[in-house]
Chains A and B, each alone.
Chain A
Amino acid sequence: MEILLAIAIMALGAVVLGAALGFASVKFKVEGDPLVDKIEAILPQTQCGQCGYPGCKPYAEAIAKGECDINRCPPGGTEGVQRLADLLGREVKPLDAEEKPKAVAVIDENTCIGCTLCIQACPVDAIVGAAKQMHTIIAQQCTGCELCLPPCPVECISMQPIGENIENWKWKHPILAIKPVPPAVHAKEAA
């Protein structure tokens, strides 16, 4: 008799908790995949497609599903791989492409024929111009994705690296500077 009571109590508990969980999963349903958003926040949003996916979000979705590696984003660099590895608990891998310095596209305005092909290719609308009018790039908005280079029929777009300037200069990590000792000192010590 007692054993039946115990089973009944456990069964009742299971039903109540199950109902609560079921209610919670409907009531507090999370729209979208929070992991994808977290991954996307790490990606540099250049929308360059160098990872083989048509934009940063598809790449983030592919990573979240475990379909592809975390080392396929050259603009994110080694640091991006490191941060993705930290987030996902995966192993850090070397970047599968060359890491390039940051650059902006520049149109040689004398050569531009105004074909608008680059305007259509730019994923962030950073090129202004109209048909048969000169085009130019808004350097501040350019992500350096290089997607405008292949469509240009006259090859008037080039990538120019953004060098170090006073605005973006950073203090370096303090490290012990190893200075060469002049040979005279060596000679003295030896003597």
Chain B
Amino acid sequence: MPMNLFTFKGGVKPPTHKTQSVGLPIAVAPLPSRLVVPLHQSIGGTPQPVVAAGDKVLKGQLVGEADGWISAAVHAPTSGTVLEVGPHVQPHPSGLDAPCVVIAPDGQDRWIERQPFDHAAASPDETRRHLQRSGVVGLGGAVFPTHGKLTPAKSVAMAELVINGAECEPFITCDDLLMRERADDVVRGIGIFRDLLQPQKVLIGIEDNKPQAAAAMRAAVAAAGEDFAVIEVPTLYPAGGAKQLIRVLTGKEVPAAKRSTDLGVQCFNVATAYTAWRAIAHGEPVVSRLVTVAGNVRQARNYEVPIGAPMDEVLALAGPQPDTDGIVMGGPMMGFLVPDSRAPVVKATNCLIAHSARLFPPKAPEMPCIRCGACAEVCPHELQPFELYWFARAKNFGKTQEYALFDCIECGCCSYVCPSRIPLVHYFRFAKSEIWAREREKNAADEAKARYEFKQWRDEREKAEKAERLAKAAANQVSRKAAEATGEAPADAEKAAKTAAIQAAMERAKAQREAAQPKNTESLTPEQQQATAEIEARRAAAHLGDSEQP
């Protein structure tokens, strides 16, 4: 199908380094010594652990239950024993800990009972819930819970469903291999997304440096009898950014602070479609993912790795060269050096690159900005990185927001071309996290203020109520005294009524006392009666009357 393509502004063409890892088919990584499964693996709420140390789990068993709608469940990647639920190091630039479920594999890799989900019979809501329960999240790197993106916008008709197979970042080939080897399942997964969103068109975008993947996808689309368009887009980093790919395929530009759904476009990664199909047709939750292991290794390759496998063990499969001095998670443009190589592979881990000084020579020191404007020319979002840089550096965060800091996708094009080697993206990340921290502090302060003001208001109210009570009591006292002083005329009737009431109460009490006779004085024998009478006589003699009759 011939189609006019659009272009986005900017972009760079870094060396792709993709050929090294596409030579061999996907291999299944062996089970590691232990699996550390982080509970928080998607955007949104942190799932609550539903297992405890000592529990036996099966492959695919739920270990963390989704917390809220924007949150996705987490499952055991293999069968074994839960060793602990506790904090462990995360694949995060901070190198900090977060709660994880640690599982010792039993080596049997036994699946829990898998129930295929009949999505044709189920309502769209049930399908979305099933995907949430299966832990399906965006595997392109942002790990947004997929079910949250599968509700069509109410205001705009869904025009295009864009499937992202562009994979523009250097070194990474996991989507390429997935499309080559498992295109049928990917296409069926896209079919599910199509059924839920009801778009007019489905467009599958693949960069033109992956002809085999495109051919496999075309064949799979034809075999499935679908009318999805497989479109090869020019190879230009970052064509795989969601907004860039939407621009290239549909010509629509997503405005700042809006989402593509507002324009009737939704975008999913091919691997997400694949896992969605596995979850629906086979009842398999997301317990593994494809990871490209490349860089400074003897044999770069794609592995199907269980979630939670330690990165160093995964890297060891590809045989890292002796001068490897670290692991980069993600690609060289957007990835980061993992602070601790024992960190686990998570749903967001699409690539592990063995880092060495030979492969990534250390950058020469940062030089002053010469205002050449090269960064603005390559920015795919048409921002002005040099201006943002000045403001971020000066901590003038208000200005950075005026210059649309939050439209920056951190693709790294600006840092890549900067002749002064300024780590621009680092400055932008710094500014973003500072702004978020301030926002949090501001919200906390506002809430504290509201609560403080409420407490003050409540204290005032209580004080006023107490004062009112006291005033009333005092007023009563005064009026009574005044009444006593000025002749008892008005109080007489009141007093008489009170006396009468007291009198009546005393009468009642007396009647009750008399009614309640001791129960052991009936049906006494004459001897007993006589003995009692004698005792009574003695008591009378000793002046000890009944207490009731003094």
Bound-state CA distance A47–B426 (Å) is 36
- By a CB distance below 8 angstroms, the chain B residues around A67 are none
Residue of A nearest to B449 (CB): A45
- State whether the Cβ of B9 lies closer than 8 Å to any Cβ in chain A: no
Known: A166-B94, A169-B96, A170-B437. A46 touches B429 (CB 8 A): no
- CB-defined interface of A153-183 with B at 8 Å, one 1/0 digit per residue? 0000000000011101111111010000000
- State whether the Cβ of B502 lies closer than 8 Å to any Cβ in chain A: no
Bound-state CA distance A126–B444 (Å) is 13
Query: Nearest chain A CB to B414's CB is how many angstroms away?
Result: 14
Bound-state CA distance A125–B445 (Å) is 14
Partner of A47, one of B92, B437, B452: B452
Known: A124-B455, A125-B454. A170 touches B434 (CB 8 A): yes
| Interface SS majority for chain B | helix
- State whether the Cβ of A151 lies closer than 8 Å to any Cβ in chain B: no
In the complex, the answer to whether A176 meets B448 with C-beta atoms within 8 Å is no
- CB-defined interface of A123-149 with B at 8 Å, one 1/0 digit per residue? 111100000000000000101000000
- State whether the Cβ of A55 lies closer than 8 Å to any Cβ in chain B: yes
Query: Nearest chain A CB to B64's CB is how many angstroms away?
Result: 16
- By a CB distance below 8 angstroms, the chain B residues around A176 are 365-366
Residue of B nearest to A163 (CB): B96
Bound-state CA distance A125–B452 (Å) is 8
- State whether the Cβ of B98 lies closer than 8 Å to any Cβ in chain A: yes
Bound-state CA distance A166–B39 (Å) is 13
In the complex, the answer to whether A125 meets B451 with C-beta atoms within 8 Å is yes
Which residues 421-454 of B have a CB within 8 angstroms of A? 423, 426-427, 429-430, 432-434, 437, 440-441, 444-449, 451-452, 454
Residue of B nearest to A123 (CB): B452
In the complex, the answer to whether A166 meets B423 with C-beta atoms within 8 Å is no
- By a CB distance below 8 angstroms, the chain B residues around A141 are 447-448, 451
In the complex, the answer to whether B94 meets A169 with C-beta atoms within 8 Å is yes
- CB-defined interface of A20-51 with B at 8 Å, one 1/0 digit per residue? 00000000000000000000100111110000
Known: A141-B447, A170-B433, A174-B427. A165 touches B454 (CB 8 A): no
In the complex, the answer to whether A172 meets B437 with C-beta atoms within 8 Å is no
- By a CB distance below 8 angstroms, the chain A residues around B448 are 45-47, 124, 141, 143
- State whether the Cβ of A56 lies closer than 8 Å to any Cβ in chain B: yes
- CB-defined interface of B360-374 with A at 8 Å, one 1/0 digit per residue? 000001100000000
- CB-defined interface of B94-117 with A at 8 Å, one 1/0 digit per residue? 101110000000000000000000
Q: How large is the interface on B (under 10, 10 to 19, 20 to 34, 35 or more residues)?
A: 20 to 34
Bound-state CA distance A169–B436 (Å) is 10
Query: Nearest chain A CB to B458's CB is how many angstroms away?
Result: 8
- By a CB distance below 8 angstroms, the chain B residues around A166 are 40, 90, 92, 94, 96-98
Query: Nearest chain A CB to B19's CB is how many angstroms away?
Result: 34
In the complex, the answer to whether A45 meets B433 with C-beta atoms within 8 Å is no
In the complex, the answer to whether B90 meets A171 with C-beta atoms within 8 Å is no
Query: Nearest chain A CB to B514's CB is how many angstroms away?
Result: 43
Query: Nearest chain A CB to B393's CB is how many angstroms away?
Result: 8
Query: Nearest chain B CB to A144's CB is how many angstroms away?
Result: 10
- CB-defined interface of B397-437 with A at 8 Å, one 1/0 digit per residue? 00000000000000000000000000100110110111001
Bound-state CA distance A12–B395 (Å) is 53
Which residues 2-46 of B have a CB within 8 angstroms of A? 40
Bound-state CA distance A168–B444 (Å) is 13
Known: A44-B441, A170-B434, A171-B433. A164 touches B452 (CB 8 A): no
In the complex, the answer to whether A174 meets B446 with C-beta atoms within 8 Å is no
- State whether the Cβ of B93 lies closer than 8 Å to any Cβ in chain A: yes
| Interface SS majority for chain A | loop
Chain A CB count within 10 A is highest, among B440, B446, B451, for B451
Partner of A125, one of B426, B444, B455: B455
In the complex, the answer to whether B449 meets A56 with C-beta atoms within 8 Å is yes
In the complex, the answer to whether A123 meets B455 with C-beta atoms within 8 Å is yes
In the complex, the answer to whether B96 meets A164 with C-beta atoms within 8 Å is yes
Bound-state CA distance A125–B455 (Å) is 7
In the complex, the answer to whether B452 meets A171 with C-beta atoms within 8 Å is no
Bound-state CA distance A170–B96 (Å) is 12
In the complex, the answer to whether B93 meets A168 with C-beta atoms within 8 Å is no
Known: A174-B426, A176-B365. A168 touches B437 (CB 8 A): yes
In the complex, the answer to whether B98 meets A165 with C-beta atoms within 8 Å is yes
In the complex, the answer to whether A164 meets B94 with C-beta atoms within 8 Å is yes
Query: Nearest chain B CB to A46's CB is how many angstroms away?
Result: 7
Residue of B nearest to A40 (CB): B449
Bound-state CA distance A62–B369 (Å) is 44
Known: A166-B92, A174-B430. A55 touches B445 (CB 8 A): no
- By a CB distance below 8 angstroms, the chain A residues around B446 are 45
Residue of A nearest to B365 (CB): A176
- CB-defined interface of B165-197 with A at 8 Å, one 1/0 digit per residue? 000000000000000000000000000000000
Residue of B nearest to A56 (CB): B449
Known: A44-B441, A44-B445. A126 touches B423 (CB 8 A): no
Chain B CB count within 10 A is highest, among A40, A56, A170, A171, for A171
Bound-state CA distance A168–B93 (Å) is 13
- By a CB distance below 8 angstroms, the chain B residues around A169 are 92, 94, 96, 433
Query: Nearest chain A CB to B61's CB is how many angstroms away?
Result: 25
Query: Nearest chain A CB to B337's CB is how many angstroms away?
Result: 13
- By a CB distance below 8 angstroms, the chain A residues around B429 are 171
- By a CB distance below 8 angstroms, the chain B residues around A168 are 437, 440
In the complex, the answer to whether B426 meets A165 with C-beta atoms within 8 Å is no
Query: Nearest chain B CB to A93's CB is how many angstroms away?
Result: 20
Bound-state CA distance A75–B447 (Å) is 16
Bound-state CA distance A83–B204 (Å) is 51
- By a CB distance below 8 angstroms, the chain B residues around A173 are 395, 430
Which residues 483-499 of B have a CB within 8 angstroms of A? none
Question: 19 A-B contacts, Cβ less than 8 Å apart?
Answer: A43-B445, A45-B444, A45-B446, A45-B448, A56-B449, A56-B452, A123-B452, A124-B451, A165-B97, A166-B40, A166-B92, A166-B94, A166-B96, A170-B430, A172-B430, A173-B395, A174-B426, A176-B365, A176-B366
Nearest 9 Cβ contacts at the A-B interface: A45-B445, A124-B451, A170-B433, A169-B94, A171-B430, A45-B448, A171-B429, A45-B449, A174-B426
Known A166-B96, A168-B437, A170-B434; further 14 A-B contacts with Cβ < 8 A = A45-B446, A45-B448, A45-B452, A47-B448, A47-B452, A124-B448, A124-B455, A141-B447, A168-B440, A169-B96, A172-B430, A174-B423, A174-B430, A176-B366
